[in-house]
């Protein structure tokens, strides 16, 4: 490996491409092919003026980056967050192409977002902003073109508004958006899908690394949709959730927290740190990753494990619920310290996988029951692990590079067969 790696101040998109290049090096991919696969297919920035309910005039920026469509329509979430700028959305769009390829869904990758703080917006403001965004994108998305889904800061309501706005122009089209409410063609199991998929990935690798889930200690960074459901499924498998963090702090308890109780406290007070439990310790949020645990689940923002704190990670297995939580330099430190990493493009692919099931149900005008969704999701996650493991063994490399190897082979293969499209 090159000792003189560039400093850590890379853009999010550069970081994703550094991971891409590690695998591309092993595959001996030409510069031309790399450029083609890295360059987004289409990028959009739209102006979103909003007159708020309170009478203020605001202007937001919305983005949709469509990264690749060689293997199928582009797919990826819509994020409402102050950090959702073009670089971040572009990085996340590329990750979606690799993610859908790793789990072998017939999709390409895209991502979108509005740079805003949804907490500051009223329900009506959020609806107006969402409808305007959907209106702007209307000519560029579609159930065989680009299919948005939920991400940080968006939920089933937002997806319903997007679907409704699009349908004003194109007729009732439930398959244009996933993560919808059940009443509008949403799927059983979509809400919990990312956490459940992450659990299936952990369940699959645990015996291979000699990890007994019964009593295993888990630290969860971030207690949003992904963190909560991941914690819940791990707790159901008899893991102990010994440390949890949110933006307000880290809470630690050696006996393990009751995940439902944490969720109740979060819903009622806005933060898990308000839980009142004897023997519990409260620390700064940055202390989460250093807590002794068997499994660490980063389920917050990107780049939270970096070159300055990776040496403090004190676990055997990292299952990445968030997108790009680990920087490339941190990756190297973790590998040196013998930490196994289930990479984001595999570990958190359960969300987009159940989005795919939702889309299939919409196109066929069918409904699957929850049991079928779970069964099929488990199969996808376990099969993808086998593909990753085979590539890791073939190239004698880590699971992240293996995931990129599998993904790049699939995307490059499809692109090659389609020609210059």
Q: Helices 31-38 and 399-418, interaxial angle, to 10°?
A: 90
187 in contact with ligand GLU (CB under 6 A): no
Closer CB to ligand GLU, 90 or 99, in the complex: 99
Sign of CA dihedral 160, 166, 169, 170: negative
| Backbone φ and ψ of 69, nearest 5° | -130, 25
Question: Which DSSP category does 308 fall into?
Answer: T
323 in contact with ligand GLU (CB under 6 A): yes
100 in contact with ligand GLU (CB under 6 A): no
Q: Which of 329, 285, 333 is nearest to 313 (CA)?
A: 333
Shortest reach from residue 59's CB to ligand GLU, in Å? 25
CA 312/CA 219 separation, integer angstroms: 13
Closer CB to ligand GLU, 151 or 294, in the complex: 151
73 in contact with ligand GLU (CB under 6 A): no
178 in contact with ligand GLU (CB under 6 A): yes
DSSP string, 15-74: HHHHHHHHHHHHHT--HHHHHHHHS-SEEEEEEEEEE-TTS-EEEEEEEEEEEE-SSSSE
Shortest reach from residue 108's CB to ligand GLU, in Å? 11
325 in contact with ligand GLU (CB under 6 A): no
76 in contact with ligand GLU (CB under 6 A): yes
189 in contact with ligand GLU (CB under 6 A): no
Q: Helices 370-395 and 399-418, interaxial angle, to 10°?
A: 100
Out of 262, 300, 305, 352, the only residue in the binding site for ligand GLU (CB under 6 A) is 352
77 in contact with ligand GLU (CB under 6 A): yes
222 in contact with ligand GLU (CB under 6 A): no
CA 315/CA 291 separation, integer angstroms: 8
Closer CB to ligand GLU, 77 or 118, in the complex: 77
Site for ligand GLU in 363-392 (CB under 6 A): none
Using an 8 Å Cβ cutoff, are 337 and 196 in contact? no
Q: What angle do CA 389, 394, 400 make, to 5 degrees?
A: 50
Catalytic residue among 75, 99, 111, 180: 111
Shortest reach from residue 331's CB to ligand GLU, in Å? 19
149 in contact with ligand GLU (CB under 6 A): yes
Sheet holding 146-150, edge to edge: 42-51, 57-68, 109-114, 74-80, 146-150
90 in contact with ligand GLU (CB under 6 A): no
Shortest reach from residue 326's CB to ligand GLU, in Å? 15
Tell me, yes or no, if 389 is annotated catalytic.
no
Give residues with Cβ within 8 angstroms of 169, minimum separation 6. Answer: 138
Shortest reach from residue 246's CB to ligand GLU, in Å? 19
407 in contact with ligand GLU (CB under 6 A): no
Shortest reach from residue 214's CB to ligand GLU, in Å? 29
- Distances 356 to 37, 72, 179, 219 between C-alpha atoms, Å: 23, 12, 10, 29
65 in contact with ligand GLU (CB under 6 A): no
Q: Which of 156, 39, 31 is nearest to 93 (CA)?
A: 39
By beta-carbon distance, which residue lies closest to ligand GLU?
Answer: 149
355 in contact with ligand GLU (CB under 6 A): yes
Closer CB to ligand GLU, 175 or 249, in the complex: 175
CA 56/CA 247 separation, integer angstroms: 28
CA 28/CA 290 separation, integer angstroms: 37
151 in contact with ligand GLU (CB under 6 A): yes
Catalytic residues: 111
Q: Binding residues for ligand GLU, per CB under 6 A?
A: 75-77, 99, 149, 151, 178-179, 323, 348, 351-352, 355
């Amino acid at each position: 490996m090159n000792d003189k790696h560039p400093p850590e101040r890379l853009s999010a998109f550069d970081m994703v491409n550094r991971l891409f290049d590690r695998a591309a090096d092993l595959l001996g991919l030409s510069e031309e092919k790399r450029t083609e696969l890295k360059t987004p297919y289409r990028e959009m920035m739209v102006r979103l003026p909003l007159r708020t309910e309170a009478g203020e005039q605001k202007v937001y920026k919305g983005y949709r980056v469509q990264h690749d469509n060689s293997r199928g329509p582009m797919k990826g979430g819509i994020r409402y967050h102050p950090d959702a700028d073009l670089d971040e959305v572009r990085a996340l769009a590329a990750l979606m192409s690799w993610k859908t390829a790793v789990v072998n869904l017939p999709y390409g990758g895209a991502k979108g977002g509005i740079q805003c703080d949804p907490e500051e917006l009223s329900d009506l403001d959020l609806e107006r902003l969402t409808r305007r965004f959907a209106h702007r994108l209307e000519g560029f998305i579609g159930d065989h073109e680009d299919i948005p889904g939920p991400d940080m800061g968006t939920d089933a309501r937002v997806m319903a508004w997007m679907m409704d706005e699009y349908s004003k122009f194109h007729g009732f089209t439930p398959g244009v958006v996933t993560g919808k409410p059940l009443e509008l063609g949403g799927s059983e199991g979509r809400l919990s899908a990312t956490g459940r998929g992450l659990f299936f990935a952990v369940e699959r690798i645990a015996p291979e690394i000699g990890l007994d889930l019964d009593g295993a200690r888990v630290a969860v960074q971030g207690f949003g949709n992904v963190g909560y459901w991941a914690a819940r499924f791990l707790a159901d498998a008899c893991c102990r959730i010994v440390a949890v963090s949110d933006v307000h702090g880290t809470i630690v308890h050696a006996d393990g927290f009751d995940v439902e109780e944490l969720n109740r406290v979060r819903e009622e007070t806005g933060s898990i740190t308000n839980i009142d439990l004897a023997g519990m310790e409260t620390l700064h949020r940055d202390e989460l990753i250093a807590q002794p645990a068997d499994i660490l689940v980063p389920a917050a923002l990107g780049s939270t494990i970096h070159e300055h704190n990776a040496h403090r990670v004190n676990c055997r297995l990292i299952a990445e619920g968030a997108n790009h939580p680990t920087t490339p330099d941190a990756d190297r430190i973790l590998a040196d310290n013998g930490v196994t990493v289930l990479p984001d493009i595999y570990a958190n692919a359960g969300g987009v996988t159940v989005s795919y099931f939702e889309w299939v149900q919409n196109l066929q005008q069918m409904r699957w029951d929850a049991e079928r969704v779970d069964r099929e999701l488990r199969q996808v996650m376990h099969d993808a692990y086998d593909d990753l493991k085979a590539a890791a063994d073939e190239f004698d490399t880590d699971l992240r590079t293996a995931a990129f190897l599998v993904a790049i082979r699939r995307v490059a293969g499809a692109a090659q067969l389609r020609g210059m499209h």
